[in-house]
Amino acid sequence: MGSEFAFKKGGACLNNCGFVSTKDISSGLATPFVWLMDMSLLGVGVGFDTKGAFTDKEVFLREPRETKDPHVVEDSREGWVAVFRRILDAYDGKDSMPDRFDYKDIRAAGSIIKSFGGIAPG
């Protein structure tokens, strides 16, 4: 994206639109949807196709294995994306579902978001 700073910080936010295909969804249910969420949180307009719906490989959702540990949500874009991935991976059998989500590290409503600008919804 033109500079080392943009590369290190994640230059995707400089794009106004993005696209991901679902054609390989049978190899990883979460991948296209996690990308969509990550880009959406960066302000990128996103789109996808439905090619994954028309493959000869079926995608099956599984009953998640529950663990007795909480998932502490990190107060960042990456933290919210990680929660989303964990939930999707739990239904794909690649991770477990925590018994609860811990939001103690999330900043209060109205706090200034220093890294990306704006105000936290809380």
Q: Which structural domain, as residue segments, surrounds residue 47?
A: 4-102
Sign of the Cα pseudo-torsion (102, 122, 111, 4, in order): positive
Give the pair of three-digit tokens for residue 68. Answer: 């007795």
Residue 21's DSSP bridge partners are none
pLDDT of residue 80: 94
Whether 112 is in a domain gets the answer no
Whether 16 is in a domain gets the answer yes
Whether 71 is in a domain gets the answer yes
CA distances from 89 to 23, 60, 75 (A): 18, 12, 21
pLDDT of residue 3: 63
pLDDT tens digits along 9-59: 666 767 788 899 888 888 888 999 999 999 998 888 999 988 877 776 777
Overall domain count for the chain: 1
Specify the higher pLDDT residue, 87 or 1.
Answer: 87
CB 52 within 8 A of CB 59: yes
pLDDT tens digits along 70-105: 999 999 889 999 999 999 999 999 999 999 999 999
Whether 116 is in a domain gets the answer no
Whether 29 is in a domain gets the answer yes
Query: Which residue is it, tokens 């990883």?
Result: 28
